[in-house]
Amino acid sequence: MKRYLAVAAVAAMLLTASVAQGTIILAKWTFETSKPTTAGPHAAEEGIFGGDATGYHTLSGAAYSNPAGNGSAESFSSNYWSTGDYYQFETSTLGYTDVQFTFDQTRSSTGPATFDLLVSTDGTNWTTLATDYAVGTASWSSNPAYYKPESVLGPFADASLDNQTKIYIRMVSKVTPTNTGGTNRIDNVTVTPEPVTITLLGLGSLLFLRRRHA
C-alpha cells in the first residue's frame, strides 16, 4: 500500500482596491487655527506630516492678516507686495508617491495678479511648475455656500516631490502693484498623494491528498 501526497498550488487571486482621493492628507493649511497676523511660521491644521506656512515681503510695511477664507472664516493675507515676494509651504512626503497639491488664491483689485509656482526639496534649488499664472479677484466669504471654485489652482504634481524628507512650495509674485495696499490671499493649501490603485496578489493553495492502494 502506498500513499501519495500530491500538492498543487493552483489559485492566484487578484484583488484590486481603489483608495479614494482625499482619504490621505499629508498637510493642509486652512488657517482656521493659526489665524495669521505675522509672516509665520504658521502650523498646518491638518495632515500626517503637517508643516509650516510663511510669508516673505521685501517692504517692511507689509502687514499679515486673516480675512475670510474661501468659504471659511480664516485665510492668510498680506499687502505691500513687490516682485519676488512669496508665500511658502513646507512639509514632508516621505513614503508617499504621486504627490500633488492644490490651493485657493485670490486678491483685491489692486493686489498682485501674476505669480510663478516653484517647488524644491532643499529650499535652495527650485523647479518652476507654473509661470505667470493668473490670480483672480473672486470675493471670498466665510459662508461655505459662497465657496468660489474658480479660486482653486491645481492640482500640480512633479515627480521630484515624491518620497522626500522635505518639500517646499512657493507662490512668488511676478509684479509690484502700484498700490501698496493691494492684498493677495491664500487658503486651503493641500498636499496629498494622488489617488492610487493598490494591487494585491493573493496566492491560494490547493492541497490534494490522494490515496492509492497497491
Nearer to Ca ion, 161 or 189 (CB): 189
Closest distance between Ca ion and the C-beta of residue 104, in Å?
Answer: 8
Going by their DSSP bridges, the two strands 42-43 and 127-134 should be labelled as unpaired
Is 144 strand, coil or helix? Answer: helix
Closest CA to 156 of 196, 194, 201: 194
Does 74 help bind Ca ion (rule: CB under 5 A)?
Answer: yes
Does 69 help bind Ca ion (rule: CB under 5 A)?
Answer: yes
Closest distance between Ca ion and the C-beta of residue 143, in Å?
Answer: 12
Does 177 help bind Ca ion (rule: CB under 5 A)?
Answer: no
Does 88 help bind Ca ion (rule: CB under 5 A)?
Answer: no
Residue 12's contacts (CB-CB under 8 Å, 6 or more residues apart) are 201, 202, 203, 204
Does 85 help bind Ca ion (rule: CB under 5 A)?
Answer: no
Piece of 37-45, 70-78, 152-160, 162-170 that binds Ca ion (CB under 5 A): 70-78
Residue 11's contacts (CB-CB under 8 Å, 6 or more residues apart) are 203, 204, 205, 206
One-letter amino acid of 23 = T
User: Which residue's Cβ lies closest to Ca ion?
Assistant: 69
Residues within the interface to Ca ion (CB under 5 A): 30-31, 66, 69, 72, 74, 187
